[in-house]
Structure 1
């Protein structure tokens, strides 16, 4: 990061002054010890690097900016990222484009972003899975969520999971489902997309804390899980709001609750799960981060542009249709705080469920 103090900025003239000052260099080849000479050259390189970084921050951006997305095209994450890229491109004056890197629980996308140049031209559209769930699910990751990234902006502060049931199941509330499942222990199954992370944890926590005895059925695709619940193969489902929208609208699946700490703005009549089963709160988040070491001036400018877009007309309504909600971009500091809080929460979930990293 570049210095943030109010001291005079480094310039080429000040650099030259340092190189001729007795304090920074020796008088002659003969009187300069080898160690001091090496330290002098290292310091000179560091100063030159700082000046180059400062110059880059002052002129940034001069070329297109890549936004890496850890899902394939068409997913809610991808759609949201493209909305951001389109909006920021208009105000920033340079194009921001999406590069999809799906698969492997988002690991490839996060590793690629973590290893990218720290010049502000590579960003990552990250989420709960990549920053909080992967660290408790895998023994080894090729990236460190804490050290390898610098928070830029919070895109969505609410992206909960949703509990729903087949429309033919004779229940209309969470309380009704709990009573029915306990009376039919072992006869009902709950489906979830195991690759999504949050859905799996939500299903397992609900099953355990409410003592339901549901048979847990993991899927590799949210689309297949929703279709099987709609057809009655499984009776209960934990999924994102967007994943279940089509079957809900078709009248084949009934919504019961969301996992967020507060009711979802787009579905104000739908209760939060914790209103019936305290302890299950999964808000979810989406954020944009940069490789650690990206200039603070660049991060600040990106934050302003993202927040400006999120504050625009109709943006919230478009997000609600994706099962997401925003309170604006926040600040880089508040975004980092949200990520740390989510990481702590998911470590607690893993402990409760005795999850062992694989």
Structure 2
């Protein structure tokens, strides 16, 4: 009698769990929702999350509380959501790091990047731009590539740090252009920009928002956008994809939840986020930050994350970049 009783007990537990998940999905959200940002307050992702949180709370009928959990290349915040209950009450405002690039940059992660985090909705793309110090005698991509090939190892590119989006974008450019330029990592964007303007480094491929005032003042020269489409902020600047087909190094931000979250909750979150992103005032505010709004279905964002993971795996492994 012991084994039948045990089987019955397990079946009852499974049924109870299923009923609980169904009830949660039907009443979601019944408590405040936590919007976890794995970066410090004040950065682009944090500002974007706060712009989205207020209208999203109105749509969901519950407070959406932004929580900053920075550190370890965004893995601390990601791990927090990965260990939470699969009920949609803890959402991750993520960049490519936690699921797309960190698995290949870091020796070990505290969570499974595929199983423990489920992409829900694309939020936007932080469009980046390739800039050079004006003293460098190049005005377009072809001239830059020709100069770099004629002077191998003499040009250097700045980034906010090893494994950052700017670093990986530079490695991507080196690979497709077949050039050798030296990476110089800094502790943040501000220090990188300072040396770039001073001419201590010659180029960088990073956020339009960070560079735009300096481009407009003539302190930096924009020669290409690192996204597949031109930026409304720099409509006359060609894309790198116009020279290197398919080139896209613009970091995507998206919403993710704990793996195993009920499909009904995922669908509801995706629907409400897309409504919020459709507001013209919000879209314009994000555009001023260099962000192109790019809504998606849950299936589309999952496919894109998987595709991006494979792309950056190849680039990272070819470059040998590692984050300690």
Superposition TM-score tier, normalisation by shorter sequence = over 0.9
Partner of 1:235: 202
1:232-276: CA deviation from partner (whole Å, max 9, x where unpaired): 221211212122233223321111112222223432221111322
Over aligned residues, Cα RMSD in angstroms? 2.0
Q: CA deviation at 1:317?
A: 2.0
Partner of 1:119: 87
Partner of 2:299: 333
When Rg is computed on C-alpha atoms for both structures, the one with the higher figure is 1
Partner of 1:133: 101
Q: CA deviation at 1:345?
A: 1.1
Structure having greater relative contact order (Cα 8 Å, sep ≥ 6): 2
Q: CA deviation at 1:75?
A: 0.9
1:174-206: CA deviation from partner (whole Å, max 9, x where unpaired): 122223334444433211122562211221232
Q: Which of 266, 272, 285 does residue 252 from structure 2 map onto?
A: 285
Partner of 2:177: 210
- Taking the aligned partners of 2:280 and 2:151, their CA distance within structure 1 comes to 48
Q: Which of 133, 147, 171 does residue 115 from structure 2 map onto?
A: 147
Task: Verify: 1:350 aligned to 2:316, yes or no.
Answer: yes
Q: Scaled by the length of structure 1, what TM-score is found?
A: 0.84
Q: Is the partner of 1:146 in helix, strand or coil? A: coil
- Taking the aligned partners of 1:42 and 1:210, their CA distance within structure 2 comes to 58
Aligned residues: 324
- Taking the aligned partners of 1:112 and 1:75, their CA distance within structure 2 comes to 20
Contact 1:136 1:357 (8 Å CA) reproduced? no
Contact 2:163 2:321 (8 Å CA) reproduced? no
Partner of 2:264: 297
- Taking the aligned partners of 1:102 and 1:249, their CA distance within structure 2 comes to 32
Closer/same/farther in 2, CA of residues 58 and 41 from structure 1, 3 Å limit: same
Q: Which of 284, 287, 293 does residue 317 from structure 1 map onto?
A: 284
Unpaired runs of at least 5, structure 2: none
Q: CA deviation at 1:72?
A: 0.9
Q: CA deviation at 1:279?
A: 6.2
Task: Verify: 1:80 aligned to 2:42, yes or no.
Answer: no
Q: Is the partner of 1:325 in helix, strand or coil? A: strand
Q: CA deviation at 1:356?
A: 6.0
Q: Scaled by the length of structure 2, what TM-score is found?
A: 0.93
Task: Verify: 1:171 aligned to 2:138, yes or no.
Answer: yes
Q: Is the partner of 1:151 in helix, strand or coil? A: strand
Q: CA deviation at 1:93?
A: 1.4
Unpaired runs of at least 5, structure 1: 1-32
1:307-354: CA deviation from partner (whole Å, max 9, x where unpaired): 1011111332222222221232x2211111111111111112124324
Q: Which of 207, 227, 233 does residue 260 from structure 1 map onto?
A: 227
Partner of 1:8: none
